[in-house]
Structure 1
């Protein structure tokens, strides 16, 4: 009866197999000897995976392209983070995502924009409103847009591996996947692992049925490294006009002020007001007086 040449372990590197062959030749195929060698090799391999000295301790931050927001984030979103951009409809989430993408292509970074609810012509018209020249960036190979995408998680993964982008926007996840199945989805976990492995900075746009005053978090919020909430609220009882606001509710590895900050829509996209202290305090006071009881807040994972 033929003897299995490697009776204990069959997934070793070529270097490890050479060592085992030497053990087998000199000492015979004794399991105790082989196991001891394997334990030694596995220990060395494990240590090399967590070599703290080779980890870059400086946090590289990625500019969002939104005037004032980077100041709220110590210079930008930490590279490789997946950030939830959320809020009710019509609050500027898609615009923020587009500015994030355009900031990337201006720096010669390859970017992908996946929309699951708008056609490409509609998306291009939205971009062009702010004077953003998509055609040249697409021709130069720095931008790809997928509108009304019917792609699966697996399809998206293949595109990402082929294109190798630095930035991605998904707009919006509510259309693409059911929130109750999203977090437990094996396909999503595989895609999320790929995003982390390739160190891609990602914005995940989601829809809320409630405003910023209602401090309730959904399934999507818990998978993000950060949460940016956009909304429109009334500043005072006299002025009925709703004021656009943004709040960084969470951002790992970043000291953030979660106070809502007013912003405005301009011909170049959206921008946070320079003088915000007084207005922001008023907004926070109104929220404190009106919000519903706190639910569980998203935890760091």
Structure 2
């Protein structure tokens, strides 16, 4: 992701009012039953892009004429924007008879790969996929996780803001699939349709729930589908909630990790992962090395407990210094008193540059302070080689290195000398 992360209008007032918009390069899911306003919300998202002269790709299962009629219902002349090449409509036929195939998951993953192909062709700033449900019915949920995460990260690296429309799950297995997808996006917009309405407009309840950033929290409101306006919220006050999420992330942490404090900046990079997600990314990086020879480094920064006891620096401050010193493509994981970094194109120089940058991003730039803290932050670096078997063994090695007589952490002060 290039440049600073910033907020942009979403076209939905509940989000724009309470969150200030959506993140450029963020990923969002609209979840809800049929006729709940999912497609209209996607069209509002596209209209907001077009009004700002941004290129938006709209993947749809609908016939072009039907999509135009839907857009016209919210006073959106989609054809005029299509003529200007600001809206690119890509119609996709849903997969059929895939159960007869030897491996239907391989067939489905090609649809996800096609998203990347279209993105590379049109270079949009936003994409909407309405709807994704037929294309994520994988038998192997681990395969779905890998494929969707690869698609998502490829899109994010290009600073493209994405919105995926997904149907409300009707079975436990469908719920498991939805959990995987919603676990990796920036936020979820859930529409809960109700048959009861206080006036002539139908609607229901909408819940916006952040996974990453949007530190204002979760909001709930009633919504209506109004002609010429689309999905809008009523004037009833929003109800801020802090617990009882509608969807539950599927990954469970292996270690008791230190709570991550959000940085004071208005936006937080999304390259901080929990242990299980970090393992998944690391395994993908190992596979890439074995197939292409592209090397990488796994670097651990350990904070001595004395640093926190003396009030010099906390593990959250060290993590923030690391975050400010890494690129979006690099990945970070916090485990107890260690901040572990995957440098996806690492080498000896990039590791050295990272250590210098971390020192420059410490909370105090007094020379004596930096010298003192550099004695209390230690580094252990591994460059991938043919001996590496998998992510688990690589992580175990770097986590337990401090207990080894031959593999020791070095203080930053000595590593840089």
TM-score calculated relative to the size of structure 1 = 0.65
Tell me: CA distance 1:69–1:192, structure 2 relative to 1, closer, same or farther (3 Å): closer
- For the pair 1:207 / 2:157, whether they are aligned, the reply is no
Tell me: CA distance 1:235–1:121, structure 2 relative to 1, closer, same or farther (3 Å): closer
**Equivalent in the alignment of 2:184:** 223
RMSD: 3.4
Whole-angstrom distance in 1 between the partners of 2:41 and 2:138: 22
Structure 1 residue 243: Cα displacement = 4.9
User: Does the residue aligned with 1:170 lie in a helix, a strand or coil?
Assistant: strand
- For the pair 1:142 / 2:101, whether they are aligned, the reply is no
Equivalent residues of 1:95, 1:270 under 8 A apart: yes
Tell me how many residue pairs correspond in the alignment.
Answer: 228
Alpha-carbon deviations, 1:98-135, whole Å to 9, x = none? Answer: 100000000000000101x3222211111111221112
Tell me: CA distance 1:224–1:294, structure 2 relative to 1, closer, same or farther (3 Å): closer
Whole-angstrom distance in 1 between the partners of 2:122 and 2:188: 26
Tell me: CA distance 1:135–1:233, structure 2 relative to 1, closer, same or farther (3 Å): closer
User: Does the residue aligned with 1:146 lie in a helix, a strand or coil?
Assistant: strand
User: Does the residue aligned with 1:68 lie in a helix, a strand or coil?
Assistant: helix
User: Does the residue aligned with 1:260 lie in a helix, a strand or coil?
Assistant: strand
- For the pair 1:130 / 2:44, whether they are aligned, the reply is no
Structure 1 residue 192: Cα displacement = 1.9
Tell me: CA distance 1:182–1:203, structure 2 relative to 1, closer, same or farther (3 Å): farther
What runs of 5+ residues in structure 2 fail to find an aligned partner?
95-109, 252-272, 275-417
Greater mean alpha carbon deviation, residues 216-225 or residues 97-106: 216-225
Equivalent residues of 1:221, 1:298 under 8 A apart: no
**Equivalent in the alignment of 2:41:** 96
Among residues 93, 107, 119, which one is paired with 2:63 in the alignment? 119
Tell me: CA distance 1:193–1:96, structure 2 relative to 1, closer, same or farther (3 Å): same
**Equivalent in the alignment of 2:156:** 196
User: Does the residue aligned with 2:225 lie in a helix, a strand or coil?
Assistant: strand
Equivalent residues of 1:173, 1:204 under 8 A apart: yes
Whole-angstrom distance in 2 between the partners of 1:201 and 1:256: 20
| Moved segments of 4+, more than 6 Å | none
- For the pair 1:67 / 2:28, whether they are aligned, the reply is no
Alpha-carbon deviations, 1:43-90, whole Å to 9, x = none? Answer: xxxxxxxxxxx973xx411211122331122x1111111111102222
Tell me: CA distance 1:86–1:202, structure 2 relative to 1, closer, same or farther (3 Å): same
**Equivalent in the alignment of 2:322:** none
User: Does the residue aligned with 1:255 lie in a helix, a strand or coil?
Assistant: coil
**Equivalent in the alignment of 1:12:** none
Answer 1 or 2: higher relative contact order, Cα 8 Å, separation at least 6.
Answer: 1
**Equivalent in the alignment of 1:41:** none
**Equivalent in the alignment of 2:221:** 261
Alpha-carbon deviations, 1:235-281, whole Å to 9, x = none? Answer: 89x99x9751111122411124434201122222111123325xx59
Tell me: CA distance 1:209–1:228, structure 2 relative to 1, closer, same or farther (3 Å): same
Equivalent residues of 1:172, 1:206 under 8 A apart: yes
Larger radius of gyration: 1
